[in-house]
Amino acid sequence: MTDATDNIVPTTVPQAPASEPEVTAAAAAEVVAAAEGDSNAEPNRRRRSRRGGKGRNRAAGQDAGAAQGKDASAPAAAAAPSGKPREQRQARAGAKPNPVLERLFQLYPGLFGARFLPLKRGVYEDIVARHGSEFEPEALKAAMGIHARSTRYLECVAAGLPRHDLEGQVVEPMAPEHVHHALMEVYKRRRLRNGQDVSDELRARLVKAIEASGLRRDEYQLRMRTRDEAANALLDDAVAEAGRLAARREAMLRAFEASGKDEAQFADMYGMTHKDAARLLAGARRDRAMAATPSEAPTEAPSSPADDADAAASSPVPDQAA
């Protein structure tokens, strides 16, 4: 993956609305609704995988069948290429399951099995250190590239899940750049596969990614900008929408501060639950703190698929695994 600043194109950053947004129950409901239904959670939690042989992860497969009816509208689930195991799709194409991935599933089912998890940077070296005699280096690199380019893996990166080591322990958060580029790739594949206009859904996911990134909106926009004008237009729209929601949260916080009410009373005034009001006000306070924080210089992203499984997200290699 190249440095996120390589393809920056200068632009005017969309600003929050100049006028103070009206504080109404409808405005409060809009902000609460935007924060609900987080589509970034558990993207492939119940997706079935049969790496490792017949009968393995049977319970996960049963869960997946039940989930297909319940969660068919979830953005991450909708981005999946199909509910079929990889072997069935490969058999249909005349290909055999990758033996290295089959073995990795047997060794680390929590990472390569029914539920994918983002891998730590340097995981290739960790696997070599533990199982160097079992895998040919080039075969392992190729298998890791297939895994990292799979739609299912990109979905868990797009969800913002943290990176994990071989024990399945969280080791570091996912970089905002990787979340953004994985989101763009997942929805690009969905559009090409189904011929659907996914721009509205993608824009909503980008707004959530912006707000979860810990970056100022102008900083996020500069880091994620590329030479793809269509992608830049979506990014601009998402940044503008995030700014609009932030302005509404700020207006609600000011109304709360001027009201003399506690959170429960304030929530009742605007027809919100106490939990929703507390979340809205906490978000507004985070916005204020972030606005007072100087922008940071963009950091260099990892560049080797063998060293960082997510680097393959920006590679123009067709989806080979799901």
Summarised one tens digit per residue, pLDDT across range 61-77 is 444 334 334 443 334 33
What does the pLDDT read at residue 52? 44
Question: What is the overall mean pLDDT for the chain?
Answer: 77
Confidence of residue 194 (pLDDT cuts 50, 70, 90): very high
pLDDT tens, residue by residue, 269-281: 999 999 999 999 9
What does the pLDDT read at residue 156? 96
What does the pLDDT read at residue 36? 61
The pLDDT of 108-130, averaged and rounded, is 95
Confidence of residue 295 (pLDDT cuts 50, 70, 90): low
What does the pLDDT read at residue 75? 40
What does the pLDDT read at residue 19? 58
- Fold annotation for 58-193+302-314: Fertility Inhibition Protein O; Chain: A; Domain 1 (1.10.1710)
What does the pLDDT read at residue 296? 61
Eight-state DSSP code of residue 7: T
Check: CB of residue 322 under 8 Å from CB of residue 89.
yes
Q: Which amino acid is at 45?
A: R
The pLDDT of 169-192, averaged and rounded, is 96
Confidence of residue 292 (pLDDT cuts 50, 70, 90): confident
What does the pLDDT read at residue 299? 52
Per the DSSP assignment, residues forming a β-bridge with 119 are 164
What does the pLDDT read at residue 305? 39
Overall pTM > 0.75: no
Q: Does residue 315 register a pLDDT over 80?
A: no
What does the pLDDT read at residue 89? 52
Which one is predicted more confidently, 39 or 33? 33
Eight-state DSSP code of residue 20: P
- Label residue 225 left, alpha or beta by phi (over 0 means left) and psi (-120 to 50 means alpha): beta
Q: Which range, of 81-85, 218-222, 263-267, 293-297, averages the lowest pLDDT?
A: 81-85
Check: CB of residue 287 under 8 Å from CB of residue 249.
yes
Q: Does residue 11 register a pLDDT over 80?
A: no
Sheet strands (E) in 230-299: none
Confidence of residue 291 (pLDDT cuts 50, 70, 90): confident
Q: Does residue 117 register a pLDDT over 80?
A: yes
Q: Does residue 49 register a pLDDT over 50?
A: no
Q: Does residue 170 register a pLDDT over 80?
A: yes
3-state secondary structure (DSSP) of residue 12: coil
What does the pLDDT read at residue 24? 74
Confidence of residue 97 (pLDDT cuts 50, 70, 90): confident
Question: For the chain, which residues make up each domain, given as ranges?
Answer: 25-39+203-291, 58-193+302-314
Q: Which amino acid is at 316?
A: P
219: CB partners within 8 A, 6+ apart: 295, 296, 298
304's tokens: 């080797």
What does the pLDDT read at residue 189? 96
% of the chain surpassing 70 pLDDT = 63
Q: Does residue 313 register a pLDDT over 50?
A: no
